[in-house]
Amino acid sequence: MSDVSLEAARRRTFAIISHPDAGKTTLTEKLLLFGGAIQMAGSVKSRKTSRSATSDWMALEKERGISVTSSVMQFPYSDRIVNLLDTPGHADFGEDTYRVLTAVDSALMVIDVAKGVEERTIKLMDVCRLRDTPIMTFINKLDREGRNPIDLLDEVESVLGIQCAPVTWPIGMGQRLKGVVHLVSGEVHLYEPGRNFTRQDSTIFASIDDPKLEERIGAPMLAELRDELELVQGASHPFDLARYLAGQQTPVFFGSAVNNFGVQLLLDFFVEHAPAPRPRATTSREVAPSEPQLTGFVFKIQANMDPQHRDRVAFMRICSGKFSAGMKAFQSRTGKELKLANALTFMASDREIVETAWPGDVIGIHNHGTISIGDSFSEGEVLHFTGIPNFAPELFRRARLRDPLKLKQLQKGLAQLSEEGATQFFRPLMSNDLILGAVGTLQFDVVAYRLKDEYGVDASFEPVQVATARWIRCDDARKLEEFREKNAMNLGIDAAGQLVYLAPTRVNLQLAQERASGVEFLATREHA
Ligand code: GDP
Protein backbone atom coordinates (compact mmCIF):
# COMPACT_ATOMS: atom_id res chain seq x y z
CA MET A 1 0.00 0.00 0.00
CA SER A 2 1.13 3.54 -0.67
CA ASP A 3 1.88 5.98 2.11
CA VAL A 4 -1.25 7.90 1.22
CA SER A 5 -3.46 4.81 1.54
CA LEU A 6 -1.85 3.80 4.82
CA GLU A 7 -2.09 7.23 6.36
CA ALA A 8 -5.65 7.74 5.14
CA ALA A 9 -6.70 4.37 6.55
CA ARG A 10 -5.61 5.30 10.05
CA ARG A 11 -7.40 8.67 10.14
CA ARG A 12 -10.64 9.08 12.08
CA THR A 13 -12.17 12.50 11.49
CA PHE A 14 -15.33 13.28 13.41
CA ALA A 15 -17.42 15.87 15.25
CA ILE A 16 -19.51 15.72 18.39
CA ILE A 17 -23.15 16.66 18.08
CA SER A 18 -25.33 17.38 21.08
CA HIS A 19 -27.79 19.71 22.70
CA PRO A 20 -26.10 22.38 24.85
CA ASP A 21 -25.18 21.07 28.32
CA ALA A 22 -25.33 17.39 27.41
CA GLY A 23 -21.58 17.17 28.02
CA LYS A 24 -19.83 17.75 24.69
CA THR A 25 -17.05 19.87 26.18
CA THR A 26 -16.44 17.53 29.08
CA LEU A 27 -16.30 14.53 26.80
CA THR A 28 -13.95 16.34 24.42
CA GLU A 29 -11.60 16.96 27.31
CA LYS A 30 -11.58 13.33 28.33
CA LEU A 31 -10.95 12.19 24.78
CA LEU A 32 -8.02 14.58 24.52
CA LEU A 33 -6.73 13.23 27.80
CA PHE A 34 -6.59 9.72 26.36
CA GLY A 35 -4.83 11.06 23.32
CA GLY A 36 -2.25 12.77 25.51
CA ALA A 37 -3.24 16.01 23.85
CA ILE A 38 -4.35 18.00 26.86
CA GLN A 39 -1.83 20.25 28.40
CA MET A 40 -3.98 22.59 30.40
CA ALA A 41 -6.83 21.34 32.46
CA GLY A 42 -9.90 23.20 31.35
CA SER A 43 -8.37 24.28 28.07
CA VAL A 44 -11.46 23.31 26.19
CA LYS A 45 -13.73 24.69 28.84
CA SER A 46 -12.36 28.22 28.79
CA ARG A 47 -13.93 29.00 25.45
CA LYS A 48 -17.48 28.62 26.42
CA THR A 49 -18.19 30.05 29.81
CA SER A 50 -21.26 31.85 28.60
CA ARG A 51 -23.23 31.00 25.57
CA SER A 52 -26.11 33.37 25.91
CA ALA A 53 -24.60 36.66 27.07
CA THR A 54 -23.57 38.54 23.96
CA SER A 55 -20.93 40.64 25.65
CA ASP A 56 -19.20 37.67 27.22
CA TRP A 57 -19.26 35.88 23.96
CA MET A 58 -17.52 38.78 22.29
CA ALA A 59 -14.91 39.07 24.96
CA LEU A 60 -14.34 35.40 24.44
CA GLU A 61 -14.11 35.71 20.72
CA LYS A 62 -11.46 38.35 21.20
CA GLU A 63 -9.25 35.65 22.51
CA ARG A 64 -9.46 34.19 19.10
CA GLY A 65 -6.33 32.19 19.46
CA ILE A 66 -8.22 29.80 21.64
CA SER A 67 -11.09 29.34 19.30
CA VAL A 68 -8.86 28.88 16.29
CA THR A 69 -6.79 26.20 17.97
CA SER A 70 -9.75 24.34 19.34
CA SER A 71 -11.51 24.30 15.98
CA VAL A 72 -9.64 21.12 15.19
CA MET A 73 -8.06 18.86 17.75
CA GLN A 74 -5.78 16.15 16.51
CA PHE A 75 -4.44 13.39 18.69
CA PRO A 76 -2.96 9.94 18.28
CA TYR A 77 -4.69 6.99 19.89
CA SER A 78 -3.52 3.37 19.58
CA ASP A 79 -2.15 3.37 16.05
CA ARG A 80 -4.75 5.81 14.79
CA ILE A 81 -4.81 9.55 14.29
CA VAL A 82 -8.01 11.14 15.50
CA ASN A 83 -9.20 14.52 14.22
CA LEU A 84 -11.98 16.01 16.31
CA LEU A 85 -13.63 18.98 14.62
CA ASP A 86 -15.37 21.35 16.97
CA THR A 87 -18.89 22.46 16.18
CA PRO A 88 -19.82 25.94 17.38
CA GLY A 89 -21.83 25.82 20.58
CA HIS A 90 -24.20 28.69 20.09
CA ALA A 91 -27.61 27.85 18.70
CA ASP A 92 -27.32 30.72 16.23
CA PHE A 93 -24.53 29.04 14.42
CA GLY A 94 -26.44 26.24 12.78
CA GLU A 95 -24.99 27.01 9.41
CA ASP A 96 -21.40 26.86 10.59
CA THR A 97 -22.13 23.61 12.29
CA TYR A 98 -23.62 22.27 9.12
CA ARG A 99 -20.47 22.96 7.18
CA VAL A 100 -18.27 21.37 9.82
CA LEU A 101 -20.38 18.26 9.44
CA THR A 102 -19.62 18.18 5.72
CA ALA A 103 -15.94 17.87 6.60
CA VAL A 104 -16.16 14.84 8.91
CA ASP A 105 -16.42 11.13 8.21
CA SER A 106 -18.54 10.32 11.24
CA ALA A 107 -20.15 11.87 14.29
CA LEU A 108 -20.59 11.20 17.96
CA MET A 109 -23.93 12.07 19.50
CA VAL A 110 -24.04 12.91 23.19
CA ILE A 111 -27.34 12.55 25.03
CA ASP A 112 -28.10 13.52 28.62
CA VAL A 113 -29.50 10.46 30.39
CA ALA A 114 -32.07 12.58 32.21
CA LYS A 115 -33.17 14.66 29.23
CA GLY A 116 -33.10 12.19 26.37
CA VAL A 117 -33.34 13.40 22.80
CA GLU A 118 -33.44 17.20 22.74
CA GLU A 119 -34.35 19.74 20.08
CA ARG A 120 -30.86 20.54 18.82
CA THR A 121 -29.91 16.89 18.66
CA ILE A 122 -32.83 16.35 16.33
CA LYS A 123 -31.70 19.16 14.04
CA LEU A 124 -28.11 17.99 13.94
CA MET A 125 -29.21 14.46 13.28
CA ASP A 126 -31.22 15.70 10.28
CA VAL A 127 -28.04 17.27 8.96
CA CYS A 128 -26.08 14.05 9.44
CA ARG A 129 -28.73 12.14 7.61
CA LEU A 130 -28.24 14.24 4.48
CA ARG A 131 -24.91 12.51 3.97
CA ASP A 132 -25.74 9.27 5.83
CA THR A 133 -22.98 10.11 8.30
CA PRO A 134 -22.27 7.16 10.61
CA ILE A 135 -23.09 8.04 14.22
CA MET A 136 -22.07 6.62 17.57
CA THR A 137 -24.05 7.56 20.66
CA PHE A 138 -22.86 8.29 24.18
CA ILE A 139 -25.51 8.49 26.88
CA ASN A 140 -23.96 10.73 29.49
CA LYS A 141 -24.34 11.65 33.17
CA LEU A 142 -25.00 8.14 34.36
CA ASP A 143 -23.81 9.19 37.79
CA ARG A 144 -27.12 11.02 38.04
CA GLU A 145 -30.60 9.67 38.20
CA GLY A 146 -31.98 9.56 34.69
CA ARG A 147 -34.46 7.80 32.48
CA ASN A 148 -34.81 4.10 32.00
CA PRO A 149 -32.13 3.05 29.47
CA ILE A 150 -34.51 0.92 27.43
CA ASP A 151 -36.94 3.85 27.15
CA LEU A 152 -34.07 6.06 26.04
CA LEU A 153 -33.13 3.70 23.25
CA ASP A 154 -36.77 3.59 22.22
CA GLU A 155 -36.80 7.35 22.09
CA VAL A 156 -33.66 7.52 19.94
CA GLU A 157 -35.14 4.97 17.57
CA SER A 158 -38.54 6.60 17.24
CA VAL A 159 -37.59 10.29 17.37
CA LEU A 160 -34.32 10.14 15.44
CA GLY A 161 -35.29 7.25 13.21
CA ILE A 162 -32.11 5.29 13.68
CA GLN A 163 -31.70 1.76 14.98
CA CYS A 164 -29.85 1.39 18.30
CA ALA A 165 -27.24 -1.26 19.03
CA PRO A 166 -26.18 -0.98 22.67
CA VAL A 167 -22.50 -1.85 23.03
CA THR A 168 -22.26 -1.11 26.72
CA TRP A 169 -25.06 -1.44 29.24
CA PRO A 170 -25.30 0.31 32.60
CA ILE A 171 -25.40 -1.49 35.92
CA GLY A 172 -27.53 0.85 37.96
CA MET A 173 -27.60 4.60 37.71
CA GLY A 174 -27.15 7.67 39.90
CA GLN A 175 -26.30 6.65 43.48
CA ARG A 176 -26.63 3.01 42.51
CA LEU A 177 -24.29 3.15 39.51
CA LYS A 178 -21.96 0.17 39.71
CA GLY A 179 -20.50 -0.06 36.25
CA VAL A 180 -21.17 -1.09 32.67
CA VAL A 181 -21.22 -4.40 30.88
CA HIS A 182 -19.59 -4.56 27.45
CA LEU A 183 -22.09 -6.49 25.39
CA VAL A 184 -19.56 -7.49 22.74
CA SER A 185 -16.61 -8.55 24.91
CA GLY A 186 -18.73 -9.52 27.91
CA GLU A 187 -16.41 -7.60 30.24
CA VAL A 188 -17.72 -5.75 33.25
CA HIS A 189 -16.09 -2.40 34.06
CA LEU A 190 -16.76 -1.20 37.55
CA TYR A 191 -17.51 2.37 38.44
CA GLU A 192 -15.57 3.57 41.42
CA PRO A 193 -16.44 7.23 41.86
CA GLY A 194 -14.01 9.96 42.71
CA ARG A 195 -11.18 8.83 40.47
CA ASN A 196 -10.40 9.68 36.90
CA PHE A 197 -10.23 6.22 35.54
CA THR A 198 -8.32 5.04 32.62
CA ARG A 199 -8.79 1.46 31.55
CA GLN A 200 -5.64 0.39 33.38
CA ASP A 201 -6.74 1.28 36.86
CA SER A 202 -10.42 0.45 36.75
CA THR A 203 -11.58 -2.92 37.99
CA ILE A 204 -12.53 -5.22 35.14
CA PHE A 205 -14.18 -8.63 35.36
CA ALA A 206 -14.14 -10.93 32.38
CA SER A 207 -17.89 -11.55 32.53
CA ILE A 208 -20.97 -11.11 34.68
CA ASP A 209 -20.42 -14.69 35.88
CA ASP A 210 -17.29 -13.75 37.77
CA PRO A 211 -18.13 -14.49 41.43
CA LYS A 212 -16.36 -11.31 42.51
CA LEU A 213 -18.96 -9.28 40.69
CA GLU A 214 -21.67 -10.63 42.96
CA GLU A 215 -19.51 -9.72 45.94
CA ARG A 216 -19.19 -6.18 44.67
CA ILE A 217 -22.74 -5.41 43.61
CA GLY A 218 -24.79 -7.90 45.63
CA ALA A 219 -27.04 -10.75 44.57
CA PRO A 220 -30.26 -8.75 44.09
CA MET A 221 -28.61 -6.26 41.76
CA LEU A 222 -26.92 -9.01 39.80
CA ALA A 223 -30.25 -10.80 39.37
CA GLU A 224 -31.79 -7.55 38.21
CA LEU A 225 -28.94 -7.07 35.74
CA ARG A 226 -29.35 -10.57 34.31
CA ASP A 227 -33.06 -9.95 33.75
CA GLU A 228 -32.40 -6.65 32.14
CA LEU A 229 -29.70 -8.00 29.83
CA GLU A 230 -32.07 -10.70 28.69
CA LEU A 231 -34.65 -8.07 27.93
CA VAL A 232 -32.13 -5.91 26.11
CA GLN A 233 -30.85 -8.77 24.03
CA GLY A 234 -34.39 -9.62 23.04
CA ALA A 235 -35.47 -6.08 22.29
CA SER A 236 -32.43 -4.50 20.66
CA HIS A 237 -30.19 -5.13 17.71
CA PRO A 238 -26.66 -6.51 17.73
CA PHE A 239 -23.97 -4.22 16.35
CA ASP A 240 -23.85 -4.46 12.58
CA LEU A 241 -20.84 -2.71 11.03
CA ALA A 242 -22.40 -2.33 7.59
CA ARG A 243 -25.57 -0.78 8.99
CA TYR A 244 -23.54 1.57 11.17
CA LEU A 245 -21.42 2.67 8.21
CA ALA A 246 -24.56 3.25 6.17
CA GLY A 247 -25.91 5.58 8.87
CA GLN A 248 -28.79 3.22 9.68
CA GLN A 249 -27.67 1.99 13.06
CA THR A 250 -26.00 3.71 15.97
CA PRO A 251 -23.85 1.83 18.49
CA VAL A 252 -24.77 3.12 21.97
CA PHE A 253 -22.50 3.59 24.99
CA PHE A 254 -23.35 4.58 28.54
CA GLY A 255 -21.11 6.49 30.90
CA SER A 256 -20.25 9.64 32.75
CA ALA A 257 -17.94 12.04 30.99
CA VAL A 258 -17.14 14.10 34.06
CA ASN A 259 -16.05 10.94 35.89
CA ASN A 260 -14.26 9.66 32.82
CA PHE A 261 -16.32 6.54 33.08
CA GLY A 262 -17.23 4.54 29.99
CA VAL A 263 -15.30 6.96 27.81
CA GLN A 264 -12.38 4.74 26.92
CA LEU A 265 -14.69 1.89 25.94
CA LEU A 266 -16.28 4.32 23.53
CA LEU A 267 -12.95 5.56 22.20
CA ASP A 268 -11.61 2.03 21.69
CA PHE A 269 -14.68 1.04 19.73
CA PHE A 270 -14.63 4.31 17.83
CA VAL A 271 -11.07 4.03 16.52
CA GLU A 272 -11.70 0.43 15.55
CA HIS A 273 -14.98 0.83 13.70
CA ALA A 274 -15.52 4.46 12.73
CA PRO A 275 -14.85 5.05 9.05
CA ALA A 276 -11.56 6.29 7.66
CA PRO A 277 -11.86 8.93 4.93
CA ARG A 278 -14.07 7.78 2.10
CA PRO A 279 -14.36 8.88 -1.52
CA ARG A 280 -15.88 12.32 -2.01
CA ALA A 281 -18.04 13.65 -4.81
CA THR A 282 -17.07 16.56 -7.02
CA THR A 283 -19.02 18.05 -9.89
CA SER A 284 -16.94 15.99 -12.31
CA ARG A 285 -15.93 12.73 -10.57
CA GLU A 286 -15.44 10.95 -7.29
CA VAL A 287 -12.09 11.49 -5.57
CA ALA A 288 -10.63 8.55 -3.63
CA PRO A 289 -8.49 9.30 -0.56
CA SER A 290 -5.72 7.05 -1.88
CA GLU A 291 -5.10 9.20 -4.94
CA PRO A 292 -1.53 10.51 -4.82
CA GLN A 293 -2.38 14.10 -5.68
CA LEU A 294 -3.54 16.53 -3.05
CA THR A 295 -7.18 17.62 -3.07
CA GLY A 296 -9.28 19.30 -0.43
CA PHE A 297 -11.98 21.85 0.27
CA VAL A 298 -12.44 24.77 2.62
CA PHE A 299 -15.32 24.40 5.07
CA LYS A 300 -14.62 27.20 7.50
CA ILE A 301 -12.92 30.56 7.68
CA GLN A 302 -11.99 32.30 10.84
CA ALA A 303 -10.39 35.63 11.62
CA ASN A 304 -6.95 35.17 13.00
CA MET A 305 -6.10 35.79 16.61
CA ASP A 306 -4.34 39.05 15.90
CA PRO A 307 -6.85 41.57 14.55
CA GLN A 308 -4.00 43.92 13.63
CA HIS A 309 -2.93 41.55 10.92
CA ARG A 310 -6.35 41.14 9.44
CA ASP A 311 -5.47 37.78 7.99
CA ARG A 312 -7.78 34.88 8.12
CA VAL A 313 -7.35 31.18 8.52
CA ALA A 314 -9.10 28.97 6.00
CA PHE A 315 -9.70 25.43 7.24
CA MET A 316 -9.14 22.90 4.52
CA ARG A 317 -10.17 19.28 4.84
CA ILE A 318 -7.80 17.10 2.86
CA CYS A 319 -9.64 14.59 0.69
CA SER A 320 -6.75 12.87 -1.06
CA GLY A 321 -3.00 12.89 -1.47
CA LYS A 322 -0.29 14.29 0.69
CA PHE A 323 0.18 17.84 1.80
CA SER A 324 3.77 19.01 2.29
CA ALA A 325 4.74 22.35 3.73
CA GLY A 326 5.35 25.01 1.10
CA MET A 327 3.73 23.15 -1.76
CA LYS A 328 1.58 24.95 -4.28
CA ALA A 329 -2.07 24.16 -4.73
CA PHE A 330 -4.48 25.03 -7.49
CA GLN A 331 -7.61 26.92 -6.49
CA SER A 332 -10.36 25.74 -8.82
CA ARG A 333 -12.63 28.78 -8.41
CA THR A 334 -10.02 31.31 -9.48
CA GLY A 335 -7.75 29.14 -11.56
CA LYS A 336 -4.80 30.42 -9.56
CA GLU A 337 -1.93 28.68 -7.85
CA LEU A 338 -1.50 29.39 -4.19
CA LYS A 339 1.54 28.68 -2.11
CA LEU A 340 0.45 26.87 1.03
CA ALA A 341 3.17 28.22 3.24
CA ASN A 342 2.94 28.28 7.01
CA ALA A 343 -0.12 26.06 7.11
CA LEU A 344 -1.28 25.25 10.60
CA THR A 345 -1.76 21.88 12.10
CA PHE A 346 -3.73 21.23 15.23
CA MET A 347 -1.75 18.52 16.91
CA ALA A 348 -1.93 18.42 20.70
CA SER A 349 -3.96 21.64 20.89
CA ASP A 350 -0.94 23.68 19.90
CA ARG A 351 -0.59 25.58 16.70
CA GLU A 352 2.41 24.22 14.94
CA ILE A 353 3.68 24.64 11.46
CA VAL A 354 2.66 21.50 9.68
CA GLU A 355 5.16 19.56 7.60
CA THR A 356 2.86 16.95 6.15
CA ALA A 357 -0.82 16.15 6.33
CA TRP A 358 -2.95 13.35 4.93
CA PRO A 359 -6.53 12.61 3.88
CA GLY A 360 -8.88 13.27 6.79
CA ASP A 361 -6.59 15.90 8.28
CA VAL A 362 -7.42 19.57 8.39
CA ILE A 363 -4.89 22.28 7.78
CA GLY A 364 -5.26 26.00 8.44
CA ILE A 365 -4.15 28.27 5.62
CA HIS A 366 -3.42 31.95 6.24
CA ASN A 367 -4.79 34.29 3.63
CA HIS A 368 -6.07 37.81 3.15
CA GLY A 369 -9.46 37.09 1.75
CA THR A 370 -8.37 35.18 -1.33
CA ILE A 371 -9.95 31.96 -0.08
CA SER A 372 -13.70 31.45 0.37
CA ILE A 373 -15.77 28.80 2.04
CA GLY A 374 -16.39 25.99 -0.41
CA ASP A 375 -13.18 26.53 -2.38
CA SER A 376 -11.65 23.34 -3.73
CA PHE A 377 -7.92 22.83 -4.10
CA SER A 378 -5.97 20.33 -6.19
CA GLU A 379 -2.65 19.96 -7.91
CA GLY A 380 -3.92 21.34 -11.19
CA GLU A 381 -7.14 19.51 -12.00
CA VAL A 382 -10.26 21.66 -12.00
CA LEU A 383 -12.34 20.08 -9.23
CA HIS A 384 -15.30 21.32 -7.25
CA PHE A 385 -16.25 19.29 -4.20
CA THR A 386 -20.02 19.34 -3.78
CA GLY A 387 -22.27 19.59 -0.78
CA ILE A 388 -21.04 22.69 1.05
CA PRO A 389 -24.00 25.02 0.84
CA ASN A 390 -24.75 28.56 1.88
CA PHE A 391 -28.23 28.73 3.36
CA ALA A 392 -30.64 31.55 2.71
CA PRO A 393 -30.55 33.72 5.84
CA GLU A 394 -33.76 34.29 7.72
CA LEU A 395 -33.09 37.70 9.24
CA PHE A 396 -32.11 40.86 7.40
CA ARG A 397 -30.89 44.29 8.47
CA ARG A 398 -29.70 47.36 6.66
CA ALA A 399 -26.33 48.71 7.73
CA ARG A 400 -26.41 52.34 8.84
CA LEU A 401 -23.18 54.22 8.92
CA ARG A 402 -22.55 57.01 11.41
CA ASP A 403 -19.69 58.47 9.38
CA PRO A 404 -20.52 58.45 5.65
CA LEU A 405 -16.85 58.77 4.75
CA LYS A 406 -16.30 55.26 6.00
CA LEU A 407 -18.46 53.65 3.33
CA LYS A 408 -15.56 51.88 1.64
CA GLN A 409 -14.38 50.46 4.95
CA LEU A 410 -17.89 49.31 5.76
CA GLN A 411 -18.27 47.51 2.45
CA LYS A 412 -14.94 45.84 2.88
CA GLY A 413 -15.70 44.82 6.45
CA LEU A 414 -19.10 43.38 5.59
CA ALA A 415 -17.72 41.48 2.62
CA GLN A 416 -14.82 40.04 4.60
CA LEU A 417 -16.89 39.11 7.61
CA SER A 418 -19.40 37.33 5.42
CA GLU A 419 -16.60 35.22 4.00
CA GLU A 420 -16.41 33.61 7.40
CA GLY A 421 -19.85 32.27 6.64
CA ALA A 422 -21.94 33.27 9.66
CA THR A 423 -23.50 36.25 7.85
CA GLN A 424 -24.23 37.07 4.25
CA PHE A 425 -23.93 40.39 2.56
CA PHE A 426 -26.21 41.68 -0.24
CA ARG A 427 -26.26 44.78 -2.38
CA PRO A 428 -29.61 45.57 -4.04
CA LEU A 429 -29.37 46.43 -7.73
CA MET A 430 -31.51 49.54 -7.38
CA SER A 431 -30.28 51.17 -4.19
CA ASN A 432 -27.11 51.88 -2.29
CA ASP A 433 -28.24 49.89 0.72
CA LEU A 434 -25.93 47.36 2.26
CA ILE A 435 -28.00 44.49 3.58
CA LEU A 436 -26.76 41.86 5.93
CA GLY A 437 -28.47 38.51 6.33
CA ALA A 438 -28.01 36.12 9.22
CA VAL A 439 -29.63 33.08 10.74
CA GLY A 440 -29.66 34.49 14.29
CA THR A 441 -29.98 37.99 15.75
CA LEU A 442 -26.82 37.71 17.83
CA GLN A 443 -24.80 37.87 14.65
CA PHE A 444 -25.77 41.48 13.96
CA ASP A 445 -24.32 42.49 17.31
CA VAL A 446 -21.22 40.49 16.63
CA VAL A 447 -20.74 42.09 13.22
CA ALA A 448 -21.30 45.62 14.60
CA TYR A 449 -18.76 44.94 17.30
CA ARG A 450 -16.20 43.53 14.94
CA LEU A 451 -16.69 46.32 12.37
CA LYS A 452 -15.74 48.76 15.05
CA ASP A 453 -12.98 46.70 16.57
CA GLU A 454 -11.31 45.48 13.40
CA TYR A 455 -12.27 48.02 10.74
CA GLY A 456 -12.78 51.20 12.76
CA VAL A 457 -16.32 51.57 11.40
CA ASP A 458 -19.19 52.70 13.58
CA ALA A 459 -22.28 51.08 12.10
CA SER A 460 -25.62 49.94 13.36
CA PHE A 461 -28.22 47.65 11.85
CA GLU A 462 -31.82 48.64 11.30
CA PRO A 463 -34.83 46.70 10.10
CA VAL A 464 -35.34 46.35 6.38
CA GLN A 465 -38.26 45.02 4.41
CA VAL A 466 -36.75 41.70 3.38
CA ALA A 467 -38.34 38.45 4.51
CA THR A 468 -36.20 35.91 2.73
CA ALA A 469 -33.67 35.49 -0.04
CA ARG A 470 -33.36 33.08 -2.96
CA TRP A 471 -30.48 32.54 -5.33
CA ILE A 472 -31.54 32.86 -8.92
CA ARG A 473 -30.51 30.38 -11.56
CA CYS A 474 -31.52 30.38 -15.18
CA ASP A 475 -29.65 28.84 -18.07
CA ASP A 476 -31.57 30.77 -20.69
CA ALA A 477 -29.79 34.14 -21.04
CA ARG A 478 -32.75 35.87 -22.65
CA LYS A 479 -35.18 34.72 -19.98
CA LEU A 480 -32.77 35.78 -17.28
CA GLU A 481 -32.45 39.24 -18.75
CA GLU A 482 -36.20 39.60 -18.94
CA PHE A 483 -36.50 38.44 -15.34
CA ARG A 484 -33.84 40.93 -14.24
CA GLU A 485 -35.67 43.80 -15.87
CA LYS A 486 -39.04 42.92 -14.43
CA ASN A 487 -37.79 42.27 -10.92
CA ALA A 488 -34.93 44.72 -10.59
CA MET A 489 -36.57 46.28 -7.53
CA ASN A 490 -36.16 43.06 -5.59
CA LEU A 491 -32.86 41.82 -6.92
CA GLY A 492 -29.43 42.09 -5.42
CA ILE A 493 -25.92 40.71 -5.62
CA ASP A 494 -24.30 38.67 -2.87
CA ALA A 495 -20.69 38.90 -1.78
CA ALA A 496 -19.69 36.35 -4.40
CA GLY A 497 -21.41 38.29 -7.18
CA GLN A 498 -24.37 35.93 -7.50
CA LEU A 499 -27.84 37.19 -8.34
CA VAL A 500 -30.26 36.98 -5.43
CA TYR A 501 -33.97 37.67 -5.11
CA LEU A 502 -34.64 39.62 -1.92
CA ALA A 503 -38.31 39.04 -1.23
CA PRO A 504 -40.13 41.67 0.84
CA THR A 505 -42.67 39.07 1.93
CA ARG A 506 -43.23 35.34 1.56
CA VAL A 507 -46.32 36.02 -0.53
CA ASN A 508 -44.29 38.19 -2.86
CA LEU A 509 -41.78 35.39 -3.25
CA GLN A 510 -44.48 32.94 -4.13
CA LEU A 511 -45.98 35.26 -6.73
CA ALA A 512 -42.60 36.02 -8.23
CA GLN A 513 -41.89 32.31 -8.54
CA GLU A 514 -45.21 31.64 -10.21
CA ARG A 515 -44.65 34.42 -12.71
CA ALA A 516 -41.13 33.46 -13.68
CA SER A 517 -41.24 30.11 -15.38
CA GLY A 518 -37.87 28.70 -16.28
CA VAL A 519 -36.17 30.62 -13.47
CA GLU A 520 -35.02 28.70 -10.42
CA PHE A 521 -35.25 30.16 -6.90
CA LEU A 522 -32.75 28.32 -4.71
CA ALA A 523 -32.79 28.36 -0.91
CA THR A 524 -29.15 27.34 -0.78
CA ARG A 525 -26.24 28.33 -2.91
CA GLU A 526 -23.68 25.61 -3.40
CA HIS A 527 -20.20 26.94 -3.13
CA ALA A 528 -18.45 26.17 -6.35
P1 GDP B 1 -21.78 21.04 26.59
O2 GDP B 1 -22.63 22.25 26.66
O3 GDP B 1 -22.48 19.93 25.85
O4 GDP B 1 -20.40 21.27 26.10
O5 GDP B 1 -21.71 20.47 28.10
P6 GDP B 1 -20.56 20.54 29.19
O7 GDP B 1 -19.50 19.55 28.90
O8 GDP B 1 -20.16 21.93 29.41
O9 GDP B 1 -21.38 20.00 30.43
C10 GDP B 1 -22.51 20.67 30.94
C11 GDP B 1 -22.59 20.46 32.43
O12 GDP B 1 -22.79 19.08 32.71
C13 GDP B 1 -21.30 20.85 33.14
O14 GDP B 1 -21.65 21.44 34.36
C15 GDP B 1 -20.61 19.53 33.35
O16 GDP B 1 -19.76 19.53 34.47
C17 GDP B 1 -21.78 18.60 33.56
N18 GDP B 1 -21.46 17.22 33.21
C19 GDP B 1 -20.82 16.76 32.11
N20 GDP B 1 -20.70 15.41 32.16
C21 GDP B 1 -21.29 15.01 33.30
C22 GDP B 1 -21.49 13.74 33.92
O23 GDP B 1 -21.09 12.70 33.45
N24 GDP B 1 -22.17 13.74 35.10
C25 GDP B 1 -22.63 14.89 35.69
N26 GDP B 1 -23.27 14.78 36.84
N27 GDP B 1 -22.45 16.09 35.14
C28 GDP B 1 -21.78 16.16 33.97
Binding site membership of 108 for ligand 1 (Cβ less than 6 Å) = no
Q: Is 345 annotated as a binding residue?
A: no
Among the residue ranges 69-73, 482-486, 514-518, the one predicted with the least confidence is 69-73
Q: Is the pLDDT of residue 66 over 70?
A: no
User: Mean pLDDT, to the nearest integer, of 356-368?
Assistant: 91
User: Cα(18)–Cα(141) distance, rounded to whole angstroms?
Assistant: 13
Alpha-carbon Rg of the chain, whole angstroms?
25
Check residue 284 and report its DSSP letter: S
Distance 2 CA to ligand 1 centre (A): 42
pLDDT of residue 438: 85
pLDDT of residue 90: 54
Angle 483-487-490 (CA atoms, 0-180°, nearest 5)? 135
Residue-wise pLDDT for 294-311, tens only, equals 999 999 887 655 556 667
Q: Residue 14 in 3-state DSSP? A: strand
How big is the chain, counted in residues?
Answer: 528
Q: What is the largest CA-CA distance in the chain?
A: 84
324 band by pLDDT with thresholds 50, 70 and 90: very high
Q: Ramachandran region of residue 186, left (φ > 0), alpha (ψ -120 to 50) or beta?
A: left
ipTM confidence score: 0.99
Q: Is the pLDDT of residue 238 over 80?
A: yes
pLDDT of residue 99: 86
Contact at 8 Å (CB) between 83 and 11?
yes
Q: Is the pLDDT of residue 422 over 90?
A: no
Q: Pairing between strand 249-254 and 312-320? A: unpaired
**Dihedral through CA 165, CA 168, CA 172, CA 175, nearest 10?**
-120
pLDDT of residue 421: 73
Binding site membership of 26 for ligand 1 (Cβ less than 6 Å) = yes
Among the residue ranges 188-197, 266-275, 360-369, 397-406, the one predicted with the least confidence is 188-197
Enumerate residues 6+ apart whose C-beta is below 8 A from 24: 16, 18, 89, 110
Among the residue ranges 190-194, 253-257, 334-338, 394-398, the one predicted with the least confidence is 190-194
32 band by pLDDT with thresholds 50, 70 and 90: confident
User: Cα(397)–Cα(451) distance, rounded to whole angstroms?
Assistant: 15
- Ligand 1: nearest atom to the Cα of 28: 7
- Ligand 1: nearest atom to the Cα of 26: 7
Among the residue ranges 168-182, 323-337, 338-352, the one predicted with the least confidence is 338-352
Check residue 450 and report its DSSP letter: H
Beta bridge partners of 83: 13, 74
User: Cα(497)–Cα(319) distance, rounded to whole angstroms?
Assistant: 28
Closest C-alpha to 363, from 333, 401, 321, 396? 321
pLDDT of residue 129: 87
Residue-wise pLDDT for 262-284, tens only, equals 999 999 999 999 999 999 999 99
Beta bridge partners of 294: none
80 band by pLDDT with thresholds 50, 70 and 90: very high
What's the pTM?
0.81
Q: Is the pLDDT of residue 53 over 60?
A: no
Binding site membership of 256 for ligand 1 (Cβ less than 6 Å) = yes
pLDDT of residue 49: 38
pLDDT of residue 9: 97
User: Cα(172)–Cα(368) distance, rounded to whole angstroms?
Assistant: 55
Q: Is 24 annotated as a binding residue?
A: yes
User: Mean pLDDT, to the nearest integer, of 186-200?
Assistant: 77
126 band by pLDDT with thresholds 50, 70 and 90: confident
pLDDT of residue 18: 92
pLDDT of residue 347: 63
Among the residue ranges 10-19, 76-85, 400-409, 412-421, the one predicted with the least confidence is 412-421
pLDDT of residue 52: 34
15 band by pLDDT with thresholds 50, 70 and 90: very high
Q: Is the pLDDT of residue 341 over 90?
A: no
353 band by pLDDT with thresholds 50, 70 and 90: low
422 burial (CB, 10 Å; 0-12 / 13-18 / 19+) is buried
pLDDT of residue 124: 87
pLDDT of residue 61: 45
Enumerate residues 6+ apart whose C-beta is below 8 A from 272: none
Query: What value does the mean pLDDT of the chain take?
Result: 86
pLDDT of residue 349: 43
189 band by pLDDT with thresholds 50, 70 and 90: very high
User: Cα(233)–Cα(167) distance, rounded to whole angstroms?
Assistant: 11
SS3 content of the chain, % helix, strand, coil (to 5): 35, 30, 35
Binding site membership of 87 for ligand 1 (Cβ less than 6 Å) = no
Q: Where are the beta strands (DSSP E) in 321-355?
A: 323-324, 328-331, 336-339, 344-345, 352-353
Q: Is the pLDDT of residue 246 over 50?
A: yes
Mutation choice for ligand 1 from 143, 258, 259, 260, CB with most ligand atoms inside 8 A: 258
Binding site membership of 144 for ligand 1 (Cβ less than 6 Å) = yes
Among the residue ranges 5-19, 208-222, 387-401, the one predicted with the least confidence is 387-401
Distance 68 CA to ligand 1 centre (A): 23
- Ligand 1: nearest atom to the Cα of 51: 2
Distance 26 CA to ligand 1 centre (A): 6
